[in-house]
Structure 1
């Protein structure tokens, strides 16, 4: 039998822990009593609209600005009193990275390695990691925005960090640059790094992150694994005739707790445990109801975000339709 984690074991399993972090500028509260728990080895998406407090939070975690109140730790070290332990283990890109345009990518990294005290042997390693080896000798002024972003990540990797902060890494990238960045982040996650990604591009976050936190106007709305957050958002659509008979049968067998809603002249929406759908279909067929299709709807992370922040009115679902044979034919 697996024993439950102790409080100490739980803390050791966290790469980043935030408790009551608050930042005020005069009368304006930019980050308000923020609590985060970020597992080691996770790709963590920090989601919010522009101006929600994402960059301010990252700056506090990195010690670039002081918090008004609250505390945070990275790899078990307090971000204020233990900075000398943290900085060698952390890499970061906050906003757009800048480089010497008339130096090559490799020469820029050499300058940064001197400052960071990183061995020059790391330069070729990180260039390969971000897939810039073939352009390493080219001047940075010839690089696309996506290549500059990847060079920025290469710079962040020079000290072989355990935790990487990326602030809006896909901002302004074209579609190919966005795909390249997503794949790079996934590779870094697979190699064991903990990656903290702030973004307002929820579709991208859903494709690469394991855990997320949603922040709105400086306050935490919700956090957890994407799988946990989207669990229970699945709905089932049944295309059937006749509708009145189907509704009656479903209400009888599923009880009042199940939500049965008529969508149109031949479509019913069910909010029930997906495991009970086969029983519901079997009951409908037994009652002579014709079934034309069964569709599973699962809310995307973007739609979930709109719902929990109150920005959107309803969940807009992505349909994944599973064709069903005409069982009553």
Structure 2
């Protein structure tokens, strides 16, 4: 089931088109990453998703409810931390959570569970004005999780967290997604964290989605090379030649492409071998094996 659907959404400010027609969806229990450079449209998209601004045209649907036509029903199922968490600095962390729990009709038991979940037990009764940035992020996450929302929207959620805090955050998000079936939409500039956390990722640039890709289970090994070969020569013959090459670990035909996994730094040797076997090579390129490389490829015009 799709918890979030964005359908041909545009946003124009004055004469400037910020978002130029984007489409994406997030399923129940899925952690979805949203990546792009500064000014690409990430924050504008998130502000539309939480109802802070309205799209110029297109539809945003949350749990079957159109955000414009049924705003209250749509946002009822949303928890969010957008930019810096909005908290009352003169209240304690606990008092902040209690206020939100009353609005969402959540129990004190859940509030106490969330305090423990985000690791704020020792400081929860301190005034928020005394909190560090990382502590505010933890409290903001706890606030967003009150009432078990079906869609959790997070904008740079690990900002200010130390390494142990990031690991704890990752565990909390994975648990919410997998055990509670919560859909998570997360924007972050920490690509390695997105790689470790997300199931799919969308790359946005200049107001347009450049690509939406699965990232779970990607082979990001550093001791092997993954390459793709496109040849005009008979594919079965090409596969036969490749399989007899000792430094080729595996090969697979997928449509017109032959995907090859080989030992590190053997690409040039493989090309020479294929040419010596009279194989006509139309295209040969190294596959990007990490999110950072893929990001650079899409955003910076990198070469495959």
- On whether the aligned pair clears a TM of 0.5, the verdict is yes
Q: Which residue of 1 aligns with 2:198?
A: 209
- What displacement does 1:197 show? 0.1
Q: Which residues of structure 1 form unaligned runs of 5+?
A: 1-12, 261-269, 272-296, 316-329
2:287 is equivalent to residue 305 of structure 1: no
Distance in 2 (CA, whole Å) between partners of 1:146 and 1:177 is 8
Counterpart Cα distance in 2 of 1:222 and 1:247: 29
The verdict on how the C-alpha distance between 1:144 and 1:184 changes in structure 2, with shifts beyond 3 A counting, is: farther
Aligned to 2:96: 108
Question: 1:141 matched to which residue of 2?
Answer: 129
Shift, 1:21, TM fit: 0.3
The equivalent of 2:274 in structure 1 is 250
* 1:196 aligned residue (182, 185, 190): 185
Distance 1:35 1:44 in 2: 14
Is 1:219 paired with 2:208? yes
Q: Provide TM-score, normalisation by structure 2.
A: 0.77
Cα deviation code 1:136-179 (max 9, x no counterpart): 22332343322211110111111211110001112344434333
Which residue does the alignment assign to 1:66? 54
Residues of 2 paired with 1:253 and 1:118: CA distance? Answer: 70
Aligned residue-pair number: 264
In the other structure, the counterpart of 1:123 is 111
Q: 2:168 maps to which residue?
A: 180
- Aligned Cα RMSD in Å? 2.8
Query: Compared with structure 1, are the counterparts of its residues 239 and 21 closer, same or farther at alpha carbon in structure 2 (3 Å cutoff)?
Result: closer
Distance 2:129 2:197 in 1: 29
Q: Relative CO higher for 1 or 2, CA cutoff 8 Å, sep ≥ 6? A: 2
CA distance in 1, matches of 2:188, 2:135: 19
Cα distance, 1:34–1:299 mapped onto 2, change above 3 Å: same
SS in 2 for 1:99: coil
Q: Is the 8 A contact 1:146 1:181 kept in 2?
A: no
8 Å CA contact retained: 2:218, 2:289: no
Q: TM-score, normalised by structure 1?
A: 0.71
- In 2, Cα distance between the equivalents of 1:183 and 1:121? 21
SS state at 2:122 partner: helix
TM-superposed CA distance for 1:254, in Å, is 8.8
* Corresponding residue number in structure 2 for 1:31: 19
Residue of 213, 226, 230 corresponding to 1:234: 226
Distance 1:247 1:35 in 2: 39
Shift of 1:234: 2.3
Q: Report the CA distance between 1:227 and its aligned residue.
A: 4.5
Show the counterpart of 1:15.
Answer: 3
Tell me the distance in 1 between the aligned counterparts of 2:45 and 2:2: 17
SS at match of 1:133: coil
Which residue of structure 1 lines up, in the alignment, with residue 44 of structure 2?
56
| In structure 2, C-alpha distance between the alignment counterparts of 1:215 and 1:238, rounded to whole Å | 32
3-state secondary structure, aligned to 1:135 = coil
> Quick check: which has more Rg, 1 or 2?
1
Cα deviations across residues 202-221 of structure 1 (Å, max 9, x unaligned)?
22111100011110011110
Mapped contact 2:33–2:200 kept (Cα < 8 A): yes
Cα distance change on mapping 1:238 and 1:54 into 2, 3 Å = closer
Structure-to-structure mapping, 1:82-101, within 5 angstroms: 82-101=70-89
In 1, are the aligned partners of 2:134 and 2:159 still within 8 Å (CA)?
no
Match of 1:156 in 2: 144
Residue number in structure 1 paired with 2:240? none
CA distance in 2, matches of 1:95, 1:70: 24
Is contact 1:167–1:197 with CA below 8 Å preserved after alignment?
yes
Hey, what does 1:165 align to over in structure 2?
153
Moved more, 159-168 or 177-186: 177-186
